[in-house]
Amino acid sequence: MDKRKIKLPVSGNQFVLIIALALVTVIFSALNKNYFTYTNLINILVSSTLIGLTSIGITFLIMTGGNDLSAGSVAAFAGVFVAWALKATSMNWFLIGLIAIAISAVAGVTNALMVTKLNIVPFIATLVSQSIWRGFAYLMCDGKPISIADKGFLAFGKARIGGTEGIPVTVILMIVFFVIFGFILAKTKFGRSIFAIGGNAEAARLAGINANRVKTICYVMTSMFAALAGIILAARMNSGQPSASPNLHFDAITAANLGGVSMIGGIGSIPSVILGVLLVQAFNSGLNMVNVSSYWQYVARGLLLFASLAIDFYRQRTRAKKLLADSMKTL
């Protein structure tokens, strides 16, 4: 009898995520027949662009041992800034978007300085930024949404490849970024630095890796991706809203953690995070389609994050046992 193990085309964690995604689809399809339709599946992909883009930066950041609670506030600021600039100036929307992303990068630099120079815990440092950038968003519009009339900008948020039933441009944009940064993480020197810093910061330092510089780049990346997500949301909603994206950082962290990114750093992959993003958005969409109260949705999302953290704890303990067993074999 051939006792060789069957190798799956995906990792164990990815297989579990695929099963979980299938179960979520089956359950919500049974509760609402419109859930498993082409239109809703496209809507899930469109909604996942916000979480997906933000999760790219969050993934790199968590893998270095950092975190960012300000992503939602930065996204709201970027959306309001674009809406304000489109109304106050005659500049091209694309240029305004680039300016908004560049300004939002300041949030990443500030977060990095607080963490690397002042030694403030990432959760506290980014909580400070969360309040500041949300405040800037409200100040810029006096607490009122700013409507957007620029046809080119609105077309960016709603354009599709292949007609009205085609794939949205923003989804294609998200996929392109996933491919690019998946390659960067897996195949480049910078990606190896991310793994090294998260795995053992002292060993990375001795190897000549500038951990503070790498962490700063990751914080800036997270803020810039959050800003892009906020700009896309403003284009989809026809307005810049200061109260937008309150749970963006929460969902992005949950997606990354479900995707196998260890909260203690050093472990993660973009393909797995993509599945985590789809699972989170499919779950959120399902809750809305079966008319679950918004209050209960907060509870459900909290339980989902708790489950992802529990799974992460189990993965860490399993890896520790395996490392111990392997070290004993060498004795």
Residue 144, both tokens: 């009122």
Helices (H) and strands (E) in the chain — how many of each? 13, 4
Q: ∠258-263-268 over CA atoms, to 5°?
A: 60
Q: How far apart are CA 322 and CA 178, in angstroms?
A: 31
Residues listed for the chain: 331
Tokens of 91: 């500049």
Q: Which phi and psi (to 5°) does residue 143 adopt?
A: 80, 5
Handedness of CA 230, 250, 197, 189 (dihedral sign): negative
Dihedral, CA of residue 191, residue 193, residue 194 and residue 198, to nearest 10: 150
Integer Cα distance of 305 and 60 in angstroms: 19
Rounded Cα–Cα distance for residues 44 and 24 (Å): 13
Per-residue DSSP letter, 29: H
Write down the pLDDT at residue 315.
74
User: Facing residues of 167 across strands?
Assistant: 161
The span from the CA of 209 to the CA of 193, in Å, is 7
Q: Which residues of 194-226 are buried (b: 16+ CB within 10 A; e: fewer)?
A: bbbbbbebeebeeeebebeebbbbbbbbbbbbb
Token duo for residue 217: 């780049």
Question: What are the tens digits of pLDDT across the range 87-135?
Answer: 999 999 999 999 999 999 999 999 999 999 999 999 999 999 999 999 9
61: which DSSP letter? H
Residue located via tokens 């800036």: 220
Q: 38-311: which CATH topology?
A: ABC transporter involved in vitamin B12 uptake, BtuC (1.10.3470)
**pLDDT at 288 (0 to 100):** 93
Report CA dihedral (97, 101, 106, 110) to the nearest 10 degrees: 140
This prediction's pTM:
0.91
Q: In degrees to the nearest 10, what's the CA dihedral of 295, 298, 301, 302?
A: -130
What is the rounded distance in angstroms from the CA atom of residue 32 to the CA atom of residue 10?
Answer: 30
Q: How far apart are CA 276 and CA 321, in angstroms?
A: 25
- The pair of three-digit structure tokens given for residue 282, joined into one six-digit string: 């499919």
pLDDT for res 6: 52
Rounded distance, CA 99 to CA 83, Å?
A: 12
pLDDT of res. 1: 45
The residue with tokens 């089956």 is: 26
In the block, residue with structure tokens 């992460």: 312
| DSSP, res 4 | P
Low-confidence ranges of the chain (pLDDT < 50): 1-3
pLDDT of residue 275: 94
Rg over CA atoms, the chain:
21
On the CB side of 87, CA atoms within 13 Å amount to 16
